[in-house]
Amino acid sequence: MSENYAFTPPATVSVPVVGSLERFPVHRIYCVGRNYEEHAKEMGFTGREPPFFFLKPADAIVVAEPGQTASTPYPTLTSNLHHEIELVVAIGTGGKNIKAADAAKHIHGYAVGLDMTRRDLQGEMKKLGRPWCIGKAYDHSAPIGPITLAANAGDVNNAPIWLQVNGADRQRSNVNKLIWNVAETIEHLSAAWELQPGDLIYTGTPEGVNAVVRGDTMVGAVDGLTPISVQVV
Ligand code: MN
């Protein structure tokens, strides 16, 4: 028997899993701010600070299906839309107060994602001491590629990460330069929220963030994972 909802509930947001017919249903999207030193510097900050987090709504996901170029609309209210290429961790087993040493057990897999940012709006909110939501958590702000199961992902903690726009290098680094690595991030995050199966963690972006405009195609990768291709339309 179906529930008596006031209207049809939205469909579950899901991400394909490489080599599987199963899709990964998305619960929440957590993001880590300023988690590569050179990116922290380009944003005007230095040194290691405790990790901090923000969220995007699950329905901000834009799935780049394998072998296809996804489209993401140029958002309203901005004239400075930035790309941020990121390693995304997909949580398969939830928990709270997870220790870094136990974090691997909770990871279902990994994907390549883009933390798209209305940088001008984020900057205004920073200046005013207001929440970043309008800059970070807008519609279609979270493109993601297929999830590779952890067992098949290789050494993602020590993998090149890069982004090209229209074939030209924009961002190039290595996941081993994360200030707070994946396991430490899970420890900090799960102390603040109880992680649930279906949670995604965008782990932060390296230096080289910059603007894209309509028509630009972003291709990004983390070695060992399926690359992502997204066009701004
Ligand atoms: Mn980011």
Burial of 1 (0-12, 13-18, 19+ CB in 10 A): exposed
SS3 188: helix
pLDDT for 47 equals: 66
23 Cβ contact partners less than 8 Å away, ≥ 6 residues apart = 14, 15, 16, 17
pLDDT for 43 equals: 87
Taking the C-alpha atoms of residue 38 and residue 215, their distance in angstroms, rounded to an integer, is: 28
Calculate how far, in angstroms, residue 7's C-alpha sits from the geometric centre of ligand 1.
34
Q: Give the pLDDT band of residue 221 (cuts 50, 70, 90).
A: very high
pLDDT for 46 equals: 75
pLDDT for 76 equals: 98
Calculate how far, in angstroms, residue 12's C-alpha sits from the geometric centre of ligand 1.
24
Edge-to-edge strand order for the sheet containing 217-222? 70-72, 228-232, 217-222, 160-165, 168-174
Read off the tokens for 222. Answer: 């983390």
Amino acid code (one letter) for 52: F
pLDDT for 15 equals: 98
Calculate how far, in angstroms, residue 225's C-alpha sits from the geometric centre of ligand 1.
19
Which residue did the predictor score with more confidence, 45 or 83?
83
Q: Give the pLDDT band of residue 48 (cuts 50, 70, 90).
A: confident
DSSP 17: B
Provide the CB-side half-sphere exposure for 233 (13 A, CA).
10
Q: Scanning the structure block, which residue is given the tokens 């390296």? A: 206
Average pLDDT over residues 68-95: 98
Calculate how far, in angstroms, residue 199's C-alpha sits from the geometric centre of ligand 1.
16
**pLDDT tens-place string over residues 83-126:** 999 999 999 999 999 999 999 999 999 999 999 999 999 999 99
Ion ligand 1 nearby residues (CB, 5 A): 84, 115, 205
Type and span of the H or E element at 46: none
Residue 164 forms beta bridges with which residues? 169, 219
Taking the C-alpha atoms of residue 82 and residue 63, their distance in angstroms, rounded to an integer, is: 18
Average pLDDT, the chain: 96
**pLDDT tens-place string over residues 150-204:** 999 999 999 999 999 999 999 999 999 999 999 999 999 999 999 999 999 999 9
Percent of the chain scored above 70 by pLDDT?
99
Q: Scanning the structure block, which residue is given the tokens 């993602």? A: 156
In order of 48, 50, 130, 225, the CA distances from 161 in angstroms are: 21, 23, 31, 10
Q: Are 224 and 155 in contact (CB under 8 A)?
A: yes
> What is the pTM for the complete model shown?
0.97
Q: Give the pLDDT band of residue 1 (cuts 50, 70, 90).
A: low
pLDDT for 49 equals: 84
Task: Please state which of the ranges 50-54, 101-105, 139-143 shows the lowest mean pLDDT.
Answer: 50-54
SS3 174: strand
Taking the C-alpha atoms of residue 42 and residue 171, their distance in angstroms, rounded to an integer, is: 12
Calculate how far, in angstroms, residue 114's C-alpha sits from the geometric centre of ligand 1.
8
Q: Give the pLDDT band of residue 2 (cuts 50, 70, 90).
A: low
DSSP 122: H
Taking the C-alpha atoms of residue 161 and residue 136, their distance in angstroms, rounded to an integer, is: 21
Calculate how far, in angstroms, residue 179's C-alpha sits from the geometric centre of ligand 1.
13
